[in-house]
Structure formats: C-alpha cells, structure tokens
Amino acid sequence: MGVPGPVIKIGCCGFQVSKRKYYEELDLVEVQKTFYKLPRLETASKWRREAPESFEFTLKVWMAITHDPRSRIWNKTGLPPEGDRGLFRPSKSNFEAWESFRAVAKELRAKVAIFQSPPSFDSSEENISNVREFLSSITNDMSLGWEIRNDSWYSNPAFIEILREFHITHVVDLLYEKPVYGDFRYYRLHGARKGKKIVYSYKYTESDLRKLGKLVNEYLAERNYILFNNSYYSFGNATEFKRMMYIGI
C-alpha cells in the first residue's frame, strides 16, 4: 500500500456562487458568517447535511473574541460593546463567545478555525499577555491559524513563541508574505496590493496562479489550504487554480 501524499484543498472565503454549483467544483469553503454573527446551530447543521460528505468547512473565529468593542463593525456581532469583550481578553464574555463558536464548529464538523486580528491589534505587552492567557484557558479540538494584520508582530519574538507554544499556523497571503510557522499551511489570497492597501477586486492572471503553485509546493506541508478572497473573481480563480494544480504546474 502506498503512502498518501500531502493534501491540498482549494476553495473560497464564502460562497461566491450557488452552493450547488460550488459543491460541483470545490471541496472546501471558509465560512465568513461566523466572523460577524454566529448562525443558529440548526442552520449550521443544515449546511453540513446539504454538503457532500467529503466537503470541508473551515471557520473564521467570531470577531467578538478578536476585535475591539469600540470598532465600527462591532454592531455586526449582535452583542453589546461591553468593556471586557474582544481583543483576546481572558474574560468570561470571551470564553462564552468561544464556546458558542465551538458549538457551531462542531455542527459543521470543522477541523480548522482561523483567528484574524485587526490592524489595530499590535504586539503590546498587554495584547501578548491576553493572547497567551486566552489560548491557554480555552478548550479546543481544532487546528488553529492566526492571520495578523499589524506588522509589529513580525519583529516581536513573542509572536513565533505563541505560534509554537499553542501549535498555531501563521496564516498569510502567500503571494506577498511567507509563513513563519505551522504544522499545516493556510493561505488567504486577497487580491493585489498597492502599497499596504489590498485591492480585492483583482483577477489573478495565469502567471499569478503559476507563481502561487510554485510557492505552495515550496512550502508544502501534509495539509494545505488555499482560500481565494479576491471579491467576485474568487470562484473562477479557485477553480482555475485547482485544475492547474491537478495537471501539475
């Protein structure tokens, strides 16, 4: 019996077409709804039943855990902006939010969850302490990833220490950044860059996708997730990239 090789799964951040069409072409989706406001457990259970058995859901962690209650998008959580919420604080509110999120993940049989911290979340001593205490206090049975959006983390040794200590994968846009740690790989392709501004409405060219394929192979792990998040072009680019990887690039 041969030894199975690395698993490469390709999908989109959210369903960009009908679920029926999506399931015919791709076997992975990153659920975006869980980032803003958690769906009902019955809804998550329905999504799981409707999808093919082999289809995989990965989840963005609820922003009620990662973001500042004073942020302009906080109202999307459906929660009051209480002072001890968000920002990875090791608070009762955040632990309850995590358990609610985990219940949804269980319904979807999700194996992977991704934290995305906001640009304002820097590597201050307070934030580092909160992240460590929060992660060491939660119950978890999923693989975790973390997409940082503040460059101060890269120059702080505490970042890679946290990744290693809690076995967290560094989530990056592989065309612009390189992962510094991870037992598995998780890439979120957001589109083009103009300085630090992300241009989501960008359609990747064949040359872009070939470059991406080479980078995926360069950083190949046992499990590899490639998620396209480039606006309304994501589904087309994801299916094209899947075909290119299948025939070998």
196 located within any domain: yes
Q: What is the pLDDT along the chain (249 residues), one digit of tens a residue?
A: 455 789 999 999 999 999 999 999 999 999 999 999 999 999 999 999 999 999 999 999 999 999 999 999 999 999 998 779 999 999 999 999 999 999 999 999 999 999 999 999 999 999 999 999 999 999 999 999 999 999 999 999 999 999 999 999 999 999 999 999 999 999 999 999 998 899 999 999 999 999 999 999 999 999 999 999 999 999 999 999 999 998 876
Kindly state whether residue 118 falls inside one of the protein's structural domains: yes
Asked whether 160 and 181 are in contact (CB, 8 A), the reply is yes
| Confidence (pLDDT) at 133 | 98
Residue 162 sits in which domain range?
Answer: 7-247
Question: Got the DSSP string for 136-180?
Answer: HHS---SEEEEE---GGGTT-HHHHHHHHHTTEEE-B-TTT----
Q: What is the model's pLDDT at position 1?
A: 47
- Does some domain include residue 2? no
The CATH number linked to 22 is: 3.20.20.410
